Amino acid sequence: MALPSSLNRYLLLMAQEHLEFRLPVSSPAHRKLMERSIFELWGHGKSPEELYRSLKKFPVEKMVPFLHADSTYKIKIHTFNKTLTQEEKVKRIDALEFLPFEGKVNLKEPQHIFSILEDYGLDPNCIPENPHNIYFGRWIADGQRELIESYSVKKRHFIGNTSMDAGLSFIMANHGKVKENDIVFDPFVGTGGLLIASAHFGAYVCGTDIDYNTVHGLGKASRKNQKWRGPDENIRANLRQYGLEKYYLDVLVSDASKPSWRKGAYFDAIITDPPYGIRESTRRTGSQKEMPKGIEKCPESHVPVSLNYHLSDMFFDLLNFAAETLVLGGRLVYWLPVYTPEYTEEMVPWHPCLELISNCEQKLSSHTSRRLITMEKVKKFENQDQYSHLLSDRFLQYQGHNSFREKYFSGVTKRIAKEEKSTQE
């Protein structure tokens, strides 16, 4: 499933409600980032006449509670990809006089709002004379799209090269079903973009990152015209910027391949964006001559160097860690980079304690994407679960993506892009 555009989503909801309207209880409007508004659909057509016929079929008993003599109302017009004159708008409203409106018009504080939505497609260079679709519905609630703007990375105090976009962070928190008083963890925390969205929904947040400078807000700044990070550029300051500091537990410098957590299930959600090796390296701690098991304890003076962290190992570790530390019913939400010419659903990493809930695609280029994977813990972790999924074919298949970085930058990739470009011309 691809993430739909906001326009599609706007209309999609109305189309879905064509069957029967029910406000989804599991995702109330105050969590809806993708939808602009929710309506009860009363009619739909490809032309005004078709719309009116459809409206006449809508059961009157469902209309009457909102149109009776003691009520007040207002009719609004929304157009997509076209602007109407005031005269055209009034004409459309007048044409609805066959509906049994008995209440009074109140433009300032109406009890009920009705909307006509006209869809003129998505291409601003090719606006049709007549709309492709017309909908009429009763407004129920607005979504929360303004959150994307108010949490925009552009205005954020502390950012890095890979800070997660605000809209996607909220979508991830929604997939993680994050709620008040949850504990949410990000093992690849970076500048904490994902913690912010979870804290907005009232969860206590914490994270780890292998990079000392990121965790401590030191080193080179990612913003243009700024050389070094300022004294208060860190994750805590970001949460403070949004009035969410009370939800900040802490962040630690730690390697996700060697989690330093006590055994137990204590996270309600693990929401993360692991590195793909494109804009940041995939590293883990370890010595060049990887020490044999059993003598891993380093002397205190030892400063570990880093080794390449294969993507397949990283996702294997992540799923295992989630299976062990999530509470039952808790969710793991993460991005999986894929090389699209080779991708199949069987490649999505698997674990006996985790059930796949959703798998959505975000295209990165013509030949690469990342997939937003959501899994839920459905079984208590037992020691034998630790390696059982390694025996599965899926693990072997994802190993093909270890060379994601090489494929991303490879001649093969450039050739595909070139070929695609020439076929489009």
Which positions touch ligand SAM (CB under 6 A)?
A: 160, 162-164, 187-188, 190-191, 193-194, 208-211, 214, 255-257, 273, 275, 280, 282-284, 309
Q: Which is nearer to ligand SAM, 17 or 209 (CB)?
A: 209
Check if the beta carbon of residue 216 is closer than 8 Å to that of residue 234.
yes
Angle, helices 193-200 vs 166-175, to 10°: value is 60
Say which amino acid occupies 359. Answer: N
Q: Which is nearer to ligand SAM, 72 or 306 (CB)?
A: 306
Q: Which is nearer to ligand SAM, 114 or 309 (CB)?
A: 309
Check if the beta carbon of residue 269 is closer than 8 Å to that of residue 322.
no
Residue 423: enclosing H or E segment and its boundaries?
helix 411-424
Q: Which is nearer to ligand SAM, 255 or 376 (CB)?
A: 255
Q: How far is the CB of 215 from ligand SAM (least distance, A)?
A: 9
Structure tokens at 152: 């925009």
Query: Measured between alpha carbons, how far is residue 165 from residues 33, 90, 242 in Å?
Result: 13, 40, 15
Q: Which is nearer to ligand SAM, 118 or 211 (CB)?
A: 211
Distance CA 390, CA 191 (A): 32
Check if the beta carbon of residue 11 is closer than 8 Å to that of residue 34.
no
Q: How far is the CB of 207 from ligand SAM (least distance, A)?
A: 9
Q: How far is the CB of 335 from ligand SAM (least distance, A)?
A: 8
Q: How far is the CB of 353 from ligand SAM (least distance, A)?
A: 22
Q: How far is the CB of 391 from ligand SAM (least distance, A)?
A: 25
Task: Give Cβ neighbours of residue 57 (< 8 Å, ≥ 6 apart).
Answer: 43
Check if the beta carbon of residue 168 is closer than 8 Å to that of residue 138.
no
Q: How far is the CB of 187 from ligand SAM (least distance, A)?
A: 6
Residue 327: enclosing H or E segment and its boundaries?
strand 326-339
Q: Which is nearer to ligand SAM, 40 or 186 (CB)?
A: 186
Q: How far is the CB of 291 from ligand SAM (least distance, A)?
A: 17
Q: What are the two backbone dihedrals, phi and then psi, of residue 281, each rounded to the nearest 5 degrees?
A: -80, 155
Q: Which is nearer to ligand SAM, 6 or 162 (CB)?
A: 162
- Residue positions counted in the chain: 425
